[in-house]
Amino acid sequence: MDIQLVFILLLVSLCIFLLVRKNIITKKFTDFLINNKGPEIDFIESGDLSVLECAKILNKKYRIGIVNAYIIVCSIKAS
């Protein structure tokens, strides 16, 4: 019984650690995309697409989450 409890606690702590790590990496990648605008995200500045469409394309391309993609699009369009 004690081994099962330890194993469950280990799995839960590992899941929490990996979730936090994923969020930190996603945040750093979001900051990187905002600071280093590359040619692959020039469609944002063109103005042909709406903010939501640009966010959906970024999310589909980089899989960073719709909220982070929206933050990137708004930051690039504002500057």
Question: 77 vs 30, 39, 46, 51, 52, CA distance in Å?
Answer: 15, 15, 9, 9, 12
Which candidate, 41, 46, 39, 45, places its Cα nearest to that of 59? 41
Answer whether 55's CB lies under 8 Å from 69's CB.
yes
* CA–CA gap between residue 51 and residue 62 (Å, rounded): 16
Q: What's the pTM?
A: 0.71
Q: Domain limits at 6?
A: 2-78
Structural domain count of the chain: 1
Residue type at 72? Answer: I
φ, ψ of residue 65 in degrees (nearest 5): 100, 145
Render pLDDT for 27-42 as a digit per residue (tens, 0 to 9). 998 888 888 887 778 8
| Among the ranges given (17-21, 34-38, 56-60), the one the predictor scored with the smallest mean pLDDT | 34-38
The predicted structure's pLDDT at residue 39:
79
Render pLDDT for 69-79 as a digit per residue (tens, 0 to 9). 999 999 888 87
